[in-house]
Chain A
Amino acid sequence: MSAQAKRARFQSLTLPHLNRMVALASRWADGHEAEDYVQEAYARAWVAFGQLRDPDAAFPWLCQILRAVASERRRTHARRQDLLFIGELDAAHEEMVASDAPSPLDDLLARLEVGRLREALRSIPDEFAEAVELHDVHGLKYREIAKITSVPIGTVMSRISRGRQLLAGLLAVAGETRAKRGVAS
């Protein structure tokens, strides 16, 4: 394959995923930095292009590279998120599903500003947040997530399930805190 043909093929297989790549990179970094991650990932993808055997798997393949870039870049940066006490989130989730009362989730979601839910994902442990985000925000299938994150599909199932449970618990705890503040004031 000539260099020109290789480049044309690279672009046709990878450029359609640029929007999703930037969206995904924004889970690790903001603005220009997220774009730097993506550019670095594309530069590496070009070098390793011969390793892409299945053209239909271009996006998961790019995601794997982007994950590696993000992991290297973030090694020296402290994680920004404040991990909440997991037990508290579990208890809040348990209360939601165990009670006969109508779930407060509808109300909590309705009151949430646009963009806050994805932001809230950053406050739960990363392995759960990543699986939930790849599925719910970026529309990847479980088998694709398993490939990207190098874990068995059963692990993806439990991470997504548990990730959403923790997120629900987080919304409930945050809602309760806001309500208490409202009463206090």
Chain B
Amino acid sequence: MTEATLEHARLQELVAPFADGELPPDAARLVQEHLRTCARCRRELALQQELARALSWEPVARPSDDLRRRIEQIGQPSPLREPFRWNTRWMAAAAAALVAIGASVGTLLRERRGSFDRPVAQIPMFRDAIADCHRAMARNFPRKADLQAVGEGLQFPIPTLDQPDAELFSTWKTTLAGSPAAGLAYHWRGIVVVQYVVPTELIRRPPEVRQALRGSGFFAASEQGQGILAFLAHGSGTLLVANAPLEELKRLM
């Protein structure tokens, strides 16, 4: 390879940054000199400039008003302490119900069951479900319902609630106790119900849940009309959290 060829190879690498005005003056002068005698690099320069110009004219997406509102809400005091400004896509009744879930979810899991004595909120699976529920609420459940997308990559089926009046409106992927999980939110009889679908081995892991499953087939905790249910169905585990009495919530099993 001749010296001129090497020089050409080195300088043609600089044609794009030259076209973009990104070269320091010395390097830019060298490229300019080279361009006087190299037709190939002149054509390369024209190509780089034309494409850059054409791309700068391409239309780009713009944020919706709804997104702008949601972004502006970030950093507002927690919805657990103050009324939350809901996504405009929400029905008012559902929003009110969800606030109630948020306000109560921290306490509802204090219920103890069976012969085990630790607070339910100390069980990693439930602790993470509470935290995830808070996060999803803080973001107004931004994901639209897409069961196919939420099920991709998960090694267990995602059975939805088998109730014609339970309307699925949001799905998302999450992690509970280090295990992949799917979050599904429903409007149901004027309240919001959150379902977490998890691997069966995860739901069986806490001894108190395992014991309850062996006995009644479900694990339940409730307080002041709030409820949480854990059970196995269709090859997966399900956790339900909602602002509803347990008896009412069991209709969703």
Residue in B17, B66, B75, B173 whose Cβ sees the most chain A Cβ within 10 Å: B75
> Which residue of the partner chain, among A18, A105, A115, contacts B59 with CB atoms under 8 Å?
A115
Q: A76-B153, A105-B50, A118-B55 are in contact. Are A142 and B67 (CB under 8 A)?
A: no
Asked if A77 is at the interface (CB within 8 A of a chain B CB), the reply is yes
Q: Which residues of A contact B (CB under 8 A)?
A: 3, 6-7, 10-11, 14-15, 18-19, 21-23, 25-26, 32, 34-36, 38-40, 42-43, 46, 76-77, 93, 96-98, 100, 103, 105-106, 109, 112, 114-115, 117-118, 121, 132-133, 135-139, 141-142, 157-158, 160-161, 164-165, 167-168
Tell me which of B108-116, B141-149, B232-240 binds A.
B141-149
> Which residue of the partner chain, among B22, B39, B72, B173, contacts A142 with CB atoms under 8 Å?
B22
Q: Is the interface of A mostly helix, strand, loop or mixed?
A: helix
Provide the bound-state CA to CA distance between A14 and B75, in Å.
13
- Write out, one digit per residue, whether chain B residues 40-62 have a CB within 8 A of any chain A CB (1) or not (0): 10011011101110111011111
* Identity of the chain B residue whose Cβ is nearest the Cβ of A139 in the assembled complex: B56
16 residue pairs A–B, Cβ–Cβ below 8 Å: A15-B68, A15-B71, A18-B63, A23-B60, A26-B61, A35-B63, A38-B67, A39-B67, A39-B139, A76-B152, A98-B40, A100-B39, A136-B52, A157-B14, A161-B17, A164-B52
**What 19 additional pairs, Cβ within 8 angstroms, besides A18-B67, A100-B39?**
A7-B75, A11-B75, A19-B60, A19-B63, A23-B60, A25-B61, A26-B60, A35-B66, A38-B67, A38-B71, A42-B74, A76-B153, A105-B46, A106-B50, A135-B20, A136-B55, A142-B22, A157-B16, A164-B48
Asked if B248 is at the interface (CB within 8 A of a chain A CB), the reply is no
Provide the bound-state CA to CA distance between A165 and B76, in Å.
47
Question: Judging by beta carbons under 8 Å apart, are A39 and B55 in contact?
Answer: no
How near does chain A come to B39, taking the closest CB pair, in angstroms?
7
* Identity of the chain B residue whose Cβ is nearest the Cβ of A20 in the assembled complex: B60
Q: Which residues of B contact A (CB under 8 A)?
A: 13-17, 20, 22, 39-40, 43-44, 46-48, 50-52, 54-56, 58-64, 66-68, 70-72, 74-77, 138-139, 142-144, 149, 152-153, 173
Question: Judging by beta carbons under 8 Å apart, are A161 and B47 in contact?
Answer: no
> Which residue of the partner chain, among A23, A32, A103, A141, contacts B46 with CB atoms under 8 Å?
A103
Residue in A3, A34, A135, A141 whose Cβ sees the most chain B Cβ within 10 Å: A135
> Which residue of the partner chain, among B61, B64, B75, B139, contacts A23 with CB atoms under 8 Å?
B61
> Which residue of the partner chain, among A14, A40, A109, contacts B54 with CB atoms under 8 Å?
A109
Provide the bound-state CA to CA distance between A39 and B64, in Å.
12
Q: A38-B63, A38-B71, A161-B48 are in contact. Are A137 and B22 (CB under 8 A)?
A: no
Residues in A whose Cβ lies below 8 Å from that of B77: 3
Residues in B whose Cβ lies below 8 Å from that of A7: 75-76
Question: Judging by beta carbons under 8 Å apart, are A135 and B62 in contact?
Answer: no
Question: Judging by beta carbons under 8 Å apart, are A164 and B47 in contact?
Answer: yes
Question: Judging by beta carbons under 8 Å apart, are A167 and B46 in contact?
Answer: no
Question: Judging by beta carbons under 8 Å apart, are B47 and A117 in contact?
Answer: no
Provide the bound-state CA to CA distance between A164 and B45, in Å.
11
Provide the bound-state CA to CA distance between A71 and B72, in Å.
24
How near does chain A come to B32, taking the closest CB pair, in angstroms?
17
How near does chain B come to A151, taking the closest CB pair, in angstroms?
14
Question: Judging by beta carbons under 8 Å apart, are A36 and B60 in contact?
Answer: no
Provide the bound-state CA to CA distance between A114 and B62, in Å.
16
Question: Judging by beta carbons under 8 Å apart, are B67 and A22 in contact?
Answer: yes
Provide the bound-state CA to CA distance between A10 and B71, in Å.
11
Residues in B whose Cβ lies below 8 Å from that of A3: 75, 77
How near does chain B come to A89, taking the closest CB pair, in angstroms?
13
Question: Judging by beta carbons under 8 Å apart, are B13 and A161 in contact?
Answer: yes
How near does chain B come to A162, taking the closest CB pair, in angstroms?
8
> Which residue of the partner chain, among B55, B60, B63, contacts A132 with CB atoms under 8 Å?
B55
Residues in A whose Cβ lies below 8 Å from that of B15: 161
Question: Judging by beta carbons under 8 Å apart, are B16 and A34 in contact?
Answer: no
* Identity of the chain B residue whose Cβ is nearest the Cβ of A112 in the assembled complex: B54
Q: A136-B52, A136-B56 are in contact. Are A164 and B139 (CB under 8 A)?
A: no
Question: Judging by beta carbons under 8 Å apart, are B56 and A137 in contact?
Answer: yes
